[in-house]
Amino acid sequence: MSSTVISHDAAHHGSHDHHHETFLTKYIFSQDHKMIAKQFLITGIIMAVFAMLLSILFRIQLAWPDKDFPILEVFLGKWAEGGRIKPEFFLSLVTIHGTMMVFFVLTAGLSGTFSNLLIPYQIGARDMASPFMNMLSYWFFFIACVIMIASFFVESGPASAGWTIYPPLSAVPTSISGSGLGMTLWLISMTLFIASQVMGGVNYISTILNMRTKGMDLWRMPLTIWSFFLTAIVGLLSFPVLVSAVVLLIFDRSFGTSFYLSDLVVQGQILPNEGGSPILFQHLFWFLGHPEVYIVVMPALGLTSEVISTNSRKPIFGYHAMVYSLVGITVLSFIVWGHHMFVTGMNPFLGGVFMITTLIIAVPSAVKAFNYIATLWRGNIRFTPAMLFAIGMVSFFVSGGVTGIFLGNAALDINLHDTYFVVAHFHLVMGSASIFGMLCGVYHWYPKMFGRMMSTKLGYLHFWLTFLGAYLVFFPMHFMGIDGVPRRYYAFTEFPFMEKWISVNILVTWAAIVAGLGQVAFLVNFFGSIWRGKKATQNPWKSNTLEWTTPVEHFHGNWPGEIPTVHRWPYDYSKPGHDEDFIPQDVPYSHTMSSNSYHDFEGDEEAIAIQRAWNKENNRSGEE
């Protein structure tokens, strides 16, 4: 109950806080949603840099498979003897790169940061429903990260069965070096991570449904909140399924059960396991795995909606359609997992069902893409770095989404499955799109997080290097995939039909290196601006949502006095008749008589009568 007392104190005493915060309670074991958001973000950024460096390492191997780089041995020791990355380590690199990016960066780093930051702020709450559980959520995530990184320091190396950890490779510790202790650490890390996500998600849903301020009905919630809400629901329903899959895997690995294993001979030894089905794992895994894609992309869509509307100075186009699309994506995300398994020998009729549900997802996704474009159309666009990243997000979502139509088609997928075409598809549609959504959020809400502005020039540099870099890296991969080049192969020189792609690999690797260097601009900007950035004003983007009504200085409780009441939806930008091009959500209609339209009152006869009388008195023609 301490949260309530804290909230009460903050509400009535402002900065004269009664409870004395120590360094430990303020910065380390904080229960304040704003601090926890920053902890998630900074941990997410560190994990992103780490995972990106891993990708540069395997890109070097792919571009120059016959060349030695003695410096690699200096850093990687036995994993790069003679300056060449070992095949086992190559597999570890792609595995951990995928795991970290999908789960630690784009799930925890994105949802954890912005759900924590924006849910209480934008719905008008002093904190989360359970600040303590919120703190636990971060620390479980942090420990998960530490364990995953620790797996680089065990003798047999990190997990290397791919981020999807399919058995039998992941289930037989003796199969390859990465299936040993590294895999065990992977499983422990992910179990902690799931606990973190469930605790966080429960808190997000409960806060949104129970803690909204007066006047904040569901249809007045910003799209950011809708997206965090639905993301948390998807997570709550799908992450526990992965726990079940992982529990069975752990028993297969360490106790000798046969849930997933059957008829195996490993290094000349016949294994005793019989009767298991690796396909069972795939079903359980993808029941989480596919919704996970939407866990990653929906928050990015929400952030983008807010940033595009604010910086187009226009209401978001089709607010209700945007919400229904998110709901549609949420529901459909649970009935499409089979499209990852078209080539497992699945009954073609069942494959057909999964194909149809998969292709239907294109509908709500397209609604969103068109609505973004319609919002931009004839807007008074301000190309802030956040806006550029938001537009970039839409670009990737469209160009990566289009190839989803190919892959969702079972007949085509039989050819394209496990090729670079898949790598290109998901890196654009969920990788780059979500990273861009996340970066757009960082640039936009940085003033709210740190009270300072980021450098715009460095932001532009960062955007262009990353945007062009990402396209140069992933676009050529489509052609490799169509040519049948499989993913996860160690050296293209080993296969004559792949040799012709080495020159493309060199281009891709150089693009990756340049885009990687582009992130230095971001890191300098992000960390430098915490201390040296220009001081932010209360509402630097002239935005409507409630977080911009809080003071620049942070304190636990968010608003010094009463929490503002909400009177309108969050997208009243450039409303005709108003003297400014934005009207914050807490401004009552009685203060904006010159811009009110009758449908603002949603059938409230009394309010309409008052407005009509005012219009008549002031010679204003109100639309009937």
Partner 1 sequence: MENEELEIAELLRVRKAKKFSLWLGLIGMFMMFAALSSGFIVYTASGVDKGIKTILPNAFIYSTIAIILSSVTMHLGLKAAKAGNLLKQKSLLMVTIVLGLVFFVLQLNAWGILSERGIYFINNNASQSFIYIFTGLHLAHIIAGILVLLRCYIGAVKPIAHDYNVFRMDLGAIFWHFLDLLWIYIYVFLLLNQ
Residues near partner 1, by CB under 8 A:
1, 3-4, 7-8, 11-12, 126, 129-130, 133, 198, 201-203, 205-207, 209-211, 236-241, 243-245, 247-248, 251, 255-259, 272-277, 280, 283-284, 287
Alpha carbon distance 281, 613 (integer Å): 68
Rounded least distance, CB 553 to partner 1, Å: 22
Closer residue to partner 1 in complex, CB, 279/506: 279
Of the pair 275, 603, the CB lying nearest partner 1 is at 275
CB contact set of 110 (below 8 Å; sequence gap of 6+): 44, 296, 299, 300, 434, 437, 438, 441
The span from the CA of 98 to the CA of 105, in Å, is: 10
Residues counted in the chain: 624
Residue closer to partner 1, measured from CB, 10 or 454? 10
CB 108 → partner 1: shortest distance, Å? 17
Using the minimum distance from each CB to partner 1, give the nearer residue, 250 or 607.
250
- Inter-residue contact 282 to 166 (CB < 8 Å): yes
Distance CA(382)–CA(573), nearest Å, equals 13
| Residue 346: CB minimum distance to partner 1, A | 12
Closer to partner 1 by CB, 218 or 247: give it. Answer: 247
Contact call for residues 203 and 227 (beta carbons, < 8 A): no
Strands (E), 242-364: 265-266, 269-270
CB of 234 vs partner 1, minimal distance in Å: 11
Query: Cα Rg for the chain, rounded, in angstroms?
Result: 26
Do 231 and 295 meet the contact criterion of CB atoms below 8 Å apart?
yes
Q: Coil, strand, or helix at residue 583?
A: coil
Q: Which of 80, 298 has the CB closer to partner 1?
A: 298
Which CB sits closer to partner 1, 174 or 244? 244
Q: Cβ of residue 563: shortest distance to partner 1, in angstroms?
A: 10
Torsion on CA atoms 2, 566, 327, 421, rounded to nearest 10:
-90
Shortest separation between residue 229's beta carbon and partner 1, angstroms: 12
**Closest approach of partner 1 to the CB of residue 12, in Å:** 6
Return the number of other C-beta atoms located less than 10 Å from residue 292's C-beta.
23
Nearer to partner 1, 12 or 535 (CB): 12
Cβ–Cβ under 8 Å, residues 207 and 118: no
Torsion of CA 576, 577, 583, 586, to 10 degrees: -130
Cβ 169 to partner 1 shortest distance, Å: 19
Which residue, 62 or 241, is less far from partner 1 as judged by CB?
241
* Phi then psi dihedrals of residue 275, to 5 deg: 85, -5
Q: Residue 540: CA atoms inside 13 Å, Cβ hemisphere, count?
A: 20
CA distance 607 to 624: 14
* Distance of closest approach, residue 176 Cβ to partner 1, in angstroms: 24
Output 278 or 518, the one with its CB closest to partner 1.
Answer: 278
Tokens 């281009």 belong to residue: 507
For partner 1, give the closer residue by CB, 244 or 590. 244
**Which one, 209 or 343, has the nearer CB to partner 1?**
209
Note the helical H segments in 313-384: 319-332, 348-360, 362-376
- The CB-of-53 to partner 1 minimum distance in angstroms stands at 34
- At its nearest, how many Å lie between partner 1 and the CB of residue 131? 10
607's CB contacts (< 8 A; 6+ apart) are 589, 601
CB of 339 to partner 1, least distance (A): 18
Burial class (CB in 10 A: 0-12, 13-18, 19+), 378: exposed
Dihedral sign for Cα atoms in the order 73, 78, 84, 88: negative
CA 300 to chain CA centroid, Å, is 6
Q: Are 329 and 298 in contact (CB under 8 A)?
A: yes
